[in-house]
Chains A and B, each alone.
Chain A
């Protein structure tokens, strides 16, 4: 019998990025006992990495902007695979969430008349991103962290969650995990659980994501019987650093392009003019002259093609490199040095200036940057009710990157930070209302707790076995080369086979040392989530026989209107009877992937898409 500490709360939020903290603040304000659990220290979650800004149609720079235009841009950017209701709520509510952040202390850059300044980003018709230079995520997370601390929030720092727990009726009733500093196990009982665990990018070799992005929330939801959708839709951000190798994948903000930066190939050509898809042709400039006029006055010319949605730009860069027109280290050139003054660059993009100066020895005010696509964001995630963020199992809610639907097949830059706040708040309300209405005592099943702990400590009991770092590296290699930015059916099948083999290997993990702050063990307990979500992505990618947003199939290069009417849904039909795989979690072989209809948009919203706005 394993020992563990036990705590209790009304609402437990897993994840302390923007969505988790916003959910916590809301649930606590509604009078519920609320606690936040996070894998790292408070204030270090991946939100801190967000750079360019937070999209909200406040109309401070372009008064003609409004939620309808933002809704339209989001849906078109998502190739209409979005949950329309989420896109609508997001566009309507984002401005209030930004203003609320300001009242809590956030200091955004200002317009001439003292309002919040908004910047241009890809796919957004108007300058719409509230920002602080290129460190907007830091501003968001620090403001929310300070608000949570001021509200006296209970925070469980450096606690890795292994599994969700449920009662006999299948209601999610808490979690089991361990303190990373001590290795001691912890059970937290709760009436409602909110997942705000972020993304999955650590399963790829070149990613902008930190070690934390192992898809824990996605996987735990699936293991608890919840549905995931759109897991094949993975965003490769067009501009990650490519050199030196040790920084490959680190993000270069889209703000560089929003503020005038352009992409060039080795011949010096602004190649994006050659890659404008029909869907965006009427609103995209067809000459450099026209594009350059647009920066100062959006009515003087159409948008530069560098500001097409991210999926378009990433694919174009990939094509240029393949055609032999890449930069020396396998990327392309991002040039702002010849476009803006050094003072402007340092003022508007201070983090980028330092990042390149210190990590690559490149002065971006004098030279072009070398950039290429990097795994950045997963559009897919837990299938939720748009209004309440409720997952498809009772007692479970999800917000932020771990939730699916809001961004469809491709997310627009800047829509993530606003998503965190809009749906973080809604998750707080949804979970609080559910907890208030939940009748009877919350009961836990000791068997589930013991099984999870047994599985977690098993690697210590094996004298020899697989090194978790080797499995992680092999998984990253598999996902990078076979489930990357451009996919084909045969490679996806190969990936599915490899993931099964990796799962076999992961059931024989061996870990050295003790349980106190042991990164090798921590990784061993992250691997089941990484394998599970990787499997979901590969399955969805194999099934979606078309190219749409974050899913590009070399063997099906066009969008298929019929495929556009379905989401692929991954689930484990009956987790309690599913065969056990790595670390005691249901085997990846028990996951199914089936098409189900995308929610049908009402006519009034559909009309907005077709209106010439």
Chain B
């Protein structure tokens, strides 16, 4: 029985200004498409592909804000193309779509995000505590809902890397990528730090290898997060406090020494990571498939002045520009 295939009404037109090019450079190209009700930016990109530009490169998968593939800069704002409705953009105005600027362009809207996959390898994985006899009998760990919720917030992350894209520390400073994990991986570390089962202590690593101190808590990452994770307030600031406590608070130091179930030291935790050291040192094996970072490509948008790294001994409050 044939199912009726509904075609939508067409009303008006939309003008898309889409960046086309590769690592060598490129420029914006304009495409005028009929407007359709309820569409998101990604729908229009797909219609451009199916009609005028079959080779227009963009990543996408789920088209429902769950996979984090279709990240781009829409009218200058880092966004998911699949969750940006056309009718939320200024009516009648050209819509500009550019690739994420913090990463080298491969082609058109597709960037080389391998930096993120390299950082991921240097995060020591979860090291779960032993089950108690009661848990062995029950068959699984016991954790209270309230205790898992803090980490659950961070595990909502869909790895769209928009927070990495917007972060001033790397957005205009390729050189910082060698020693800076970025917001996505600060929440990964926060998730593990606050994970009820984890036995690693990641604080020294965060400070010395992952550049936590470089973050100036301007909250740009929180603003662009499509999952509405409070990256700065709930992950980065608590991590900074833990790191500061670890370094300078003798009571906390003593507390750690006499705790019955002590967390592993940073060195031990690092040893559990599949690879260590700065991002420039590529681990053996690992993630293949995309070219290594090779300088800045892509469109030139307005830049921003980098924030100075946090000097040792400064308090978190002093770091904050707000």
Contact = CB atoms under 8 A, between A and B. Distances in A.
Contact of A355 (B8, B65, B152, B158): B65
B288 to A, nearest CB: 5
Interface in B274-319: 274-275, 283-291
Interface stretch (B11-19, B26-34, B51-59, B235-243): B51-59
Given A154-B285, A157-B290, A210-B67, A517 B106 contact: yes
A159 interface: yes
Contact of A135 (B51, B144, B156): B156
Interface residues of B, number: 79
Interface stretch (A141-149, A498-506, A529-537, A579-587): A141-149
Nearest to A485: B3
A105 B54 contact: no
Interface string B37-63: 111100100000111001111111111
Interface stretch (A96-104, A332-340, A393-401, A409-417): A96-104
Given A110-B148, A135-B156, 11 more contacts: A48-B66, A99-B139, A150-B125, A157-B290, A181-B290, A210-B63, A212-B61, A477-B5, A482-B2, A484-B1, A514-B55
Contacts of B38: 243-247, 359-360
Nearest to B161: A41
Nearest to B83: A358
A473 B46 CA distance: 12
A13 B125 CA distance: 23
B55 A512 contact: yes
A250 B289 contact: no
A526 interface: no
A451 B57 CA distance: 27
B85 interface: yes
Contacts of A132: 152, 155
Contact of A158 (B55, B56, B158, B289): B289
Given A48-B67, A519-B54, A116 B40 contact: no
A590 interface: no
B117 interface: yes
B138 interface: yes
Contacts of A60: 140
A40 B159 contact: no
A351 B83 CA distance: 12
Contact of A554 (B1, B43, B141): B1
B142 A114 contact: yes
26 contacts: A40-B59, A44-B69, A49-B66, A60-B140, A102-B141, A105-B128, A109-B145, A138-B155, A146-B125, A152-B275, A156-B289, A157-B289, A243-B38, A245-B36, A247-B38, A358-B85, A359-B38, A359-B85, A360-B38, A468-B54, A469-B54, A477-B5, A512-B54, A516-B107, A518-B57, A554-B1
Given A155-B287, A205-B5, A473 B50 contact: yes
Given A245-B38, A519-B58, A42 B85 contact: no
A46 B110 CA distance: 20
A358 B113 CA distance: 27
Nearest to B105: A517
Interface string A278-308: 0000000000000000000000000000000
A444 B284 CA distance: 27
Nearest to B272: A150
B129 to A, nearest CB: 10
B111 to A, nearest CB: 10
B251 interface: no
A157 B64 contact: no
B126 interface: yes
Contacts of A366: none
Interface of B: 1-6, 8, 22, 36-40, 43, 49-51, 54-69, 83, 85, 106-108, 110, 112-113, 117, 120-121, 125-126, 128, 138-145, 148, 151-152, 155-159, 192, 195, 197, 272-275, 283-291
A486 B3 CA distance: 9
Give the interface centre of B49, B83, B117, B287 by most chain A CB atoms within 10 Å: B287
A105 B287 contact: no
Interface residues of A, number: 92
Interface in A91-125: 95, 99, 102-105, 107-110, 113-117
A42 to B, nearest CB: 7
Nearest to B138: A115
Contacts, number: 230
Interface in A183-221: 205, 210-212
Contact of B289 (A45, A102, A155): A155
A139 interface: yes
A467 B55 CA distance: 11
A165 to B, nearest CB: 19
Contacts of B120: 146, 149
Interface string A151-173: 11111111100000000000000
Contact of B67 (A44, A151, A245): A44
A600 B57 CA distance: 50
A179 interface: yes
Contacts of A43: 67, 159
A504 to B, nearest CB: 20
A58 B155 contact: no
A60 B142 CA distance: 11
B55 A519 contact: yes
B286 A359 contact: no
Give the interface centre of A142, A205, A210, A517 by most chain B CB atoms within 10 Å: A517
B303 to A, nearest CB: 26
Given A42-B287, A480-B5, A517-B107, A49 B145 contact: no
Contacts of A182: 291
A488 interface: yes
Interface in A471-503: 473, 477, 480-482, 484-488, 491
A520 interface: yes
Contacts of B108: 517
